[in-house]
Amino acid sequence: MNKKIKNRRHKSLKHSGGGRIGKPGESSVKYLIVGAGPAAIAAIEAIRKRDKRGAITIVSSEKEVFYSRPLISYLLADDIGEENLFYRGEDFISANAPLRIIAGAPASSINPRDKTAAIAYGRVLKWEKLIIASGGVPIVPPAILGAKNLRTFTTIEDARRLDADIKSGAKRAVVVGGGFIGLKCAEALVKRGVSVTLVELAMHVLPSLLDDVSAGIFQKNLERHGVSVRTLSSVEKIYDGGKKLKLSGGEVIETDIIISAVGVRPNVSFLEGSLIRMGKGVIVGDDMRSSADGVFAAGDAADVPEFFSGARRAVPIWPVARQTGAIAGENAAGGAARAAGALTMNSIEVFGLAVISAGSVNPSPDSGTAFLDGAAVETADGLADLPDGTPRYKKLVFDGGGRLAGFIMLGDVERAGIYTELIKNRASVAAFKRDLAGDSFGFICVGEENWKKRIMPLEV
Amino acid sequence: MKKIYAKPEYCMACRLCEIACFVKHSKSKKIIKAFREERGEFQARIIVEQSGPVSFALQCRHCEDAGCIEACLTGAMTRNPDGAVVCDENKCVGCWSCIMVCPYGVINHDRRRKKIAAKCDLCPDKNTPACVEACPNEALVYE
C-alpha cells in the first residue's frame, strides 16, 4: 500500500468519531440502521423508494462508511487506492437525505420495548424502525489469542495495520484459515513481498467452496506462487508473544505476524439482553422481521432462511447481504416483500486462477438438503487445460429429481451464472444434462420454452 | 428503453454480429488490426448460441431486476439514466461476482488494461448497435 492510503481519504464519506446527534429533541428517527455495509446501503435505497422523507440514521463502529470490505485485499496488494474502496459515490448521502451518519460510534445496547438504542459515548436514540445490519466480526482461535503480533483482516483499519507492519519490516506471516478472506489476504501479502504460511484445519483450502479435486489444483497454484500450505493443521501453541508458533503436527514456524482468518461470526453482542430471538445471528423470516416489533435484520448479522432447507442460518455472502438489506428496508418502510431462500455462492480469484461455485458441491446422503431422494453426483472433471496453460475443472451436482443442486467451475468461469440460475429455478434439467455438462454449454441449453420469451421481440 | 432482440428464425449463425462487436470494442476499430493485436485479450460481448438447426445471438438483456448490479462488490456495475446496465471499468477489480449470477452468461473477461468484466453497452456512441447493423438477415432488431 502506498501513500495513497494516508493522503487520499475519501472526504465526504469519512466522519469524525462519535459524530453529532444534533440538538436535543432531534434524537428521534424514523429509521435507525446499525451498520454501514452492503445490507445497510441496500436498506437505505429500498426505504427511499417508498419513503422520500422519513429520517434515516446510520450508526457504525467504523469511521469510514459505505465502503466495500472485500476490497481491502486489493487495497493491501496495492491494486487499488483507498478512493476506489467506496461502494457508493460522494452524492449518496445527499441523494438519500435526510440521512444522518454517526460513525466511529458502535451501538452498545438495544431496547425493543422502548424502541431505543444506546450508542457509544452514552447517547440514546429513539427509533420507529430498527434495521440490524451490523455485519460480522472475525473469530480468533483461542490458541493464538493474546499474541502481540495478532491481526485480523476484515476492515479498512485491518488493512492499514498490515500495511504498517510491512512498512516497518514484517517479512513473514502466518495466515490461519484457508477460506475466502485467508486466501485473499495471503495473495496480497505475497504481492507485497511477505512470505506466507497458510494453515487450514480442513482437508483442503476453501472447504465450503471446493471439492478435493478442485482444491488440489487451487492449492498447487498457491504453492507455485510461494505460499506454504499446511492442511489438516491448526496452531497449537504460541511462544515469544507470537513470534514462534507450533502447529498441531509438531512443526515450529517463526513469523513476524499472525493473521486470524478462520471466519466471522455475526456482530450482535450489543443485542444481549434485548430479548430479540437469536441463533448465532438475529433470527429472521423471509420478510427479514425479527421476533421484536419494528426490528429487522439483514446481511451477515442475520440468520436467514437457507435456499434448500429453509432453516435459519448465516449465509454471509455479498449478494445475500444486498438482497436481505433491500427486503428489510422495503418492509421497514411499510412494504410486504419476501426474499427467496439464500443460496450459497462464491467467486474468488487468487494468483490468476478463478473459481466460482454455488449450492451443494460436496453432497453427502446425510446432508439433509438437496439429497433427500438419493444423491446423484455427476462430474465433468478432467477437462483439458486452457490454451494458456490455465488448469480447468468443472463439476455439476444433480439431485435425485434431476435438478441442478450445485456446481464448481475452476479456471474457466465464464457463463457460470447460467448454472446458478438453473439451481435457483429448481426445474428438472434431466433432459439436457449432457448438454449442460458439455464444454460448449450455453443459454440455449436451458430449453426453448425458457429462452424464447427472454430474447425475442414481444409480438404486438 | 430500446433493447436488442433476436429472431432465431432468421439467424444463420454467420457470427458477423460477433465480429462487428469485437471490432467496435477494439482499440483500432479495424478488423484485421483488431484480430491480429487484440484477439485473446478480450471477446465479443455477443454470443451466437447454436443447437442443431436453431441459433440466435445473445447479449446483455439489461434486466430490470439485474443480479449483476446486486452481486458487484465494488459498485462498478450500475444502471445508467437510460436504463442500460453498465460496468465502470475504473471501479471494476475483476471479482467475477457478476459472472456468477448472470442468468444469460453474457458477461466476460477483458484483460487489455487490467482484468475487468465486459458486457454489452448498447454502443452508446451509435444510433444502432454494431451487432444489429452487421446482421445481414435482420435476425437482430433494436426496438
CATH of the domain at B25: 3.30.70.20
Q: Across the interface, do A414 and B105 touch by the CB < 8 Å criterion?
A: yes
Please give the tally of structural domains in chain B: 2
Q: Which residues of A79-91 are buried (b: 16+ CB within 10 A; e: fewer)?
A: bbbbebbbbbeee
Largest CA distance in chain B: 41
A354 touches chain B (CB under 8 A): yes
Q: Find the helix or strand (DSSP H, E) in which B110 lies.
A: strand B108-110
Q: Which of A349, A414, A457 sits opposite B5 (nearest CB)?
A: A457
Lowest mean pLDDT, pick from A20-24, A333-337, A396-400, A429-433: A20-24
pLDDT category, A12, cuts 50, 70, 90? very low
Chain A nearest-CA distance from B27, in A, is: 23
Q: Which residues of A10-25 are buried (b: 16+ CB within 10 A; e: fewer)?
A: beebbbeebbebeeee
CB atoms within 10 A of CB A217: 18
Q: Does A4-137+265-332 match A140-262 in CATH topology?
A: yes
Please check whether residues B49 and B3 belong to one and the same domain.
Answer: yes
Q: Across the interface, do B51 and A416 touch by the CB < 8 Å criterion?
A: no
Mean pLDDT of A385-395: 78
At the fourth CATH level, the homologous superfamily of domain A4-137+265-332 is FAD/NAD(P)-binding domain (3.50.50.60)
* Chain B residues touching A88 at Cβ < 8 A: 75
| Segment A110-125, tens digit of pLDDT | 999 999 999 988 889 9
Q: Which domain holds residue B114?
A: 64-119
Please check whether residues B17 and B51 belong to one and the same domain.
Answer: yes
**What's the confidence (pLDDT) of residue A26?**
44
Q: Contact at 8 Å (CB) between B104 and A454?
A: yes
| pLDDT > 90? residue A383 | no
**What's the confidence (pLDDT) of residue B64?**
93
Please check whether residues B9 and B27 belong to one and the same domain.
Answer: yes
Please check whether residues B52 and B24 belong to one and the same domain.
Answer: yes
Residue B107 φ/ψ region, left for φ over 0, alpha for ψ in the -120 to 50 degree band, beta for the rest: beta
Kindly state the cell numbers that stand for A362: 460436496
Mean pLDDT of B7-16: 96
Please check whether residues B109 and B69 belong to one and the same domain.
Answer: yes
Single-letter code of the amino acid located at A342: A
DSSP state of A347: E
| pLDDT > 60? residue A378 | no
A421 touches chain B (CB under 8 A): yes
Chain B nearest-CA distance from A62, in A, is: 19
In chain B, which residue's Cα lies nearest the Cα of A345?
A: B100
| Segment A221-280, tens digit of pLDDT | 999 999 999 999 999 999 999 999 999 999 999 999 999 999 999 999 999 999 999 999
Fold of A352-455: Enolase-like; domain 1 (3.30.390)
- Distance, CA of A454 to CA of B104 (rounded, Å): 9
Q: Which of B55, B102, B143 sits opposite A417 (nearest CB)?
A: B102
| pLDDT > 70? residue A52 | yes
* Chain B residues touching A40 at Cβ < 8 A: none
DSSP state of A60: E
Is there a cis peptide before residue A98, judged by omega within 30 degrees of 0? yes
**What's the confidence (pLDDT) of residue A19?**
42
Please check whether residues B106 and B143 belong to one and the same domain.
Answer: no
Q: Across the interface, do A454 and B54 touch by the CB < 8 Å criterion?
A: no
Kindly state the cell numbers that stand for A129: 424502525
* Chain A residues touching B75 at Cβ < 8 A: 68, 86-89
**What's the confidence (pLDDT) of residue A25?**
41
CATH 3.40.630.30 fits A140-262, yes or no: no
In chain A, which residue's Cα lies nearest the Cα of B60?
A: A455
Say how many Å lie between the first and final Cα of chain A, rounded. Answer: 57
Please check whether residues B30 and B4 belong to one and the same domain.
Answer: yes
Higher pLDDT, A396 or A193: A193
Residue ranges covered by each domain of chain A: 4-137+265-332, 140-262, 352-455
Mean pLDDT of B81-102: 96
- Distance, CA of A60 to CA of B64 (rounded, Å): 31
Q: Across the interface, do B73 and A435 touch by the CB < 8 Å criterion?
A: no
- Distance, CA of A411 to CA of A391 (rounded, Å): 6
* Helices first, then strands: H and E counts in chain A: 11, 25
User: What are B16's strand-pairing partners?
Assistant: none
A317 touches chain B (CB under 8 A): no
Q: Find the helix or strand (DSSP H, E) in which A150 lies.
A: strand A150-152
Please check whether residues B87 and B106 belong to one and the same domain.
Answer: yes
In chain B, which residue's Cα lies nearest the Cα of A425?
A: B103
**What's the confidence (pLDDT) of residue A373?**
31
| Segment A149-197, tens digit of pLDDT | 999 999 999 999 999 999 999 999 999 999 999 999 999 999 999 999 9
Please check whether residues B51 and B87 belong to one and the same domain.
Answer: no
Q: Contact at 8 Å (CB) between A99 and A33?
A: no
| Segment A76-100, tens digit of pLDDT | 999 999 999 999 988 999 999 999 9
A318 touches chain B (CB under 8 A): yes
Mean pLDDT of B19-32: 96
**What's the confidence (pLDDT) of residue B143?**
92
Burial-class residue A230 by CB neighbours within 10 Å (0-12, 13-18, 19+). buried
| pLDDT > 90? residue A17 | no
Positive or negative CA dihedral for A339, A340, A343, A348? Answer: negative
B107 touches chain A (CB under 8 A): yes
Q: Across the interface, do B51 and A68 touch by the CB < 8 Å criterion?
A: no
Please check whether residues B3 and B44 belong to one and the same domain.
Answer: yes
In chain A, which residue's Cα lies nearest the Cα of B76?
A: A87
In chain A, which residue's Cα lies nearest the Cα of B55?
A: A444
**Chain B 26-65, residues with CB within 8 Å of chain A CB atoms:** 47, 49-51, 54-56, 58, 61
Chain B nearest-CA distance from A270, in A, is: 27
| pLDDT > 60? residue A365 | no
**What's the confidence (pLDDT) of residue A458?**
65
**What's the confidence (pLDDT) of residue B36?**
93
- Distance, CA of A440 to CA of A35 (rounded, Å): 43
**What's the confidence (pLDDT) of residue A6?**
42
Residue with cell 469485437: B22
| pLDDT > 90? residue A402 | no
Please check whether residues B7 and B36 belong to one and the same domain.
Answer: yes
Please check whether residues B3 and B55 belong to one and the same domain.
Answer: yes
* Chain A residues touching B97 at Cβ < 8 A: 318-319, 347
